[in-house]
Amino acid sequence: MENKILIVDDELDICEQLSGVLQDSGFKSVQALSSEHAFKLLDQYNISLIVLDIWLNNSKLDGFQTLEKIIQINDSIPVIMISGHGNIETAVNSIKKGAYDFIEKPFDSDLLIFKVKKALENFKLKKKIQLLTRKDYELKIVANSMIMKELFKTLKNVSRNDSSLFIWGEKGSGKSFISQYIHENSNRKFKNFRIVEFGNQNDDELELNLFGNEFEETTEFQGILDEVNGGTLFLKNLSLISKKFQGKLLRIIEEKKYYKIGSQMPRFIDFRIIASSQISLEKILADKIIRDDLLSKINFFQINMPCINSRKEDLKDLINLFLKEFKSNGKEMIFSNELIDYLKSLKSLDSVYHLKKIVEWILVMLEKESKEKISVDMFKKLINIFFENENSLGSSFDFLNIDIKTAREKFEKKYLLYNLEKHNFNISKISNIIGMERTALYRKLKQLKINKGLLK
């Protein structure tokens, strides 16, 4: 059955006018003068886009109520709201309630067609991405432990509303994944999800990346706030935000507008905020790391990520997930149940990210694909080989018995030296392989005092 555009307006002449404009551009449409009729047509036809009047006089439901029900029935269909009494507040409110876009009556035909084409392109792209994303999430959601089952129940509830969220958890506990999961299950999923990471750039770089610029003598640079309008903004590592930038962020949240660098024209925006931190909310409050008025805007609901030691039931599935992921890189290996139980018992295992790196490290060290199940003895031999030149550790298996800070430093140094030698000190290539940004990799090499002179 051919896809059609559904026009919903209580004025017949507006419906016919819209239908004519759409027909001239090759689009087929059906018309409804009320919400009741709209739902019948929605059930009858394959609808790929809805143009919906906000007011809908003489109808059981007004435009916003109709929008809400449409989202409940099929939240993948983009809705463009129209109104003869449009203003910024109406437009923002429409997008906030789940509409794809807004257009004011009397409408410009070219603008209408532009927005319709953009919405339909987005609809097709989102459907493809959604299929891939849902498959990806189905693979990545490992929640056999009671604590994770309870967490995902909570996530489903908070995804449906539009409140700000604060996610606390140790490094590598999955805060970024959870924030995107919330976005993909919210009314804003057809808009962008964007990340602002604090602590890895100075305030000037942060301001440019966030606001963009608009100088006559330079090419206009689109900032993150341009891209995230209507979507979700993830403030990663918010506890690392500078005192100066806290005030700027607060003004954006309160006023729902910002100015591009070099422009005096305000840009009005609407987005949902999800923030994360490796520092607990209690410590943030006690040490006054973030000002109270900003914190009150972003901490409507708090989520605490479980540590890996509280979800040991998930470790086997997590390990198998990582093995599947690395299988796409050409290696197919199986861990024995004995090795999985051994990894579960490690007191030095501090995060899901750490577990993933151990799995990756084992595959890197083995180098060649093995059909044989990897045992505890094989794992211990790899450790001994890796640290064979470390006098402090000798050839024994003391690596997992020393303090975590020393073990991590020794592991990181050996791990990076191994990759530097293997890839001829190609920083860009190594950065992609190990999943670390180039600037962060350079800082880590400097911190560990690693240079070409250390290579054999």
How many whole angstroms from its chain centre is CA 23?
38
**Amino acid sitting at position 412:** E
Confidence of residue 137 (pLDDT cuts 50, 70, 90): low
Same domain, yes or no: 182 and 232: yes
Of 284, 306, 328, the residue that ends a domain is: 306
Residue 333 lies in a domain: yes
Same domain, yes or no: 159 and 299: yes
Residue 182 lies in a domain: yes
Same domain, yes or no: 279 and 170: yes
The confidence score (pLDDT) of residue 392 equals 39
Residue-wise pLDDT for 52-76, tens only, equals 999 898 888 999 999 988 987 777 7
Of 238, 272, 306, the residue that ends a domain is: 306
Same domain, yes or no: 8 and 111: yes
Total domains, the chain: 4
Of 105, 133, 161, the residue that ends a domain is: 133
Burial class (CB in 10 A: 0-12, 13-18, 19+), 318: buried
Residue 386 lies in a domain: yes
Same domain, yes or no: 157 and 283: yes
Residue 399 lies in a domain: no
Angle between helices 438-447 and 427-434 (to 10 degrees): 100
Same domain, yes or no: 321 and 297: no
Same domain, yes or no: 253 and 345: no
**pLDDT of 258 higher than 80:** yes
**pLDDT of 354 higher than 90:** no
The confidence score (pLDDT) of residue 396 equals 38
Same domain, yes or no: 161 and 287: yes
Residue 140 lies in a domain: no
The percent of residues in the chain predicted with pLDDT above 70, rounded, is 84
Residue 232 lies in a domain: yes
**pLDDT of 390 higher than 50:** no
Q: How many CB atoms lie within 10 A of CB 61?
A: 16
Residue-wise pLDDT for 267-320, tens only, equals 888 999 999 999 988 899 999 999 999 999 998 899 999 988 888 899 998 988
Those residues with Cβ within 8 angstroms of residue 285's Cβ, 6 or more apart along the chain or in another chain: 295
Residue 454 lies in a domain: no
Query: Which whole number is the average pLDDT over 439-455?
Result: 77
Structural domain boundaries, residue 444: 404-448
More confident residue, 443 or 49: 49
Same domain, yes or no: 413 and 331: no
Confidence of residue 150 (pLDDT cuts 50, 70, 90): very high
Confidence of residue 397 (pLDDT cuts 50, 70, 90): very low
CATH number of the domain that residue 65 is part of:
3.40.50.2300
Confidence of residue 391 (pLDDT cuts 50, 70, 90): very low
Task: Provide the total of helices (H) and of strands (E) in the chain, helices listed first.
Answer: 19, 14
Same domain, yes or no: 320 and 275: no
CATH number of the domain that residue 325 is part of:
1.10.8
Nearest by Cα to 192 from 161, 221, 158, 230: 230
Residue 24 lies in a domain: yes
More confident residue, 313 or 350: 313
CATH number of the domain that residue 239 is part of:
3.40.50.300
Query: Which whole number is the average pLDDT over 235-252?
Result: 94
The confidence score (pLDDT) of residue 455 equals 47
Residue-wise pLDDT for 18-64, tens only, equals 999 999 999 999 999 999 999 999 888 889 999 999 989 888 899 99
pTM tops 0.75: no
**pLDDT of 132 higher than 80:** no
The mean predicted confidence, pLDDT, of the chain is: 82
More confident residue, 404 or 102: 102
Same domain, yes or no: 243 and 165: yes
**pLDDT of 122 higher than 80:** no
Which residue intervals of 141-170 are DSSP H helices?
A: 146-160
Same domain, yes or no: 290 and 167: yes
* Cα 132 from Cα 130, distance rounded (Å): 5
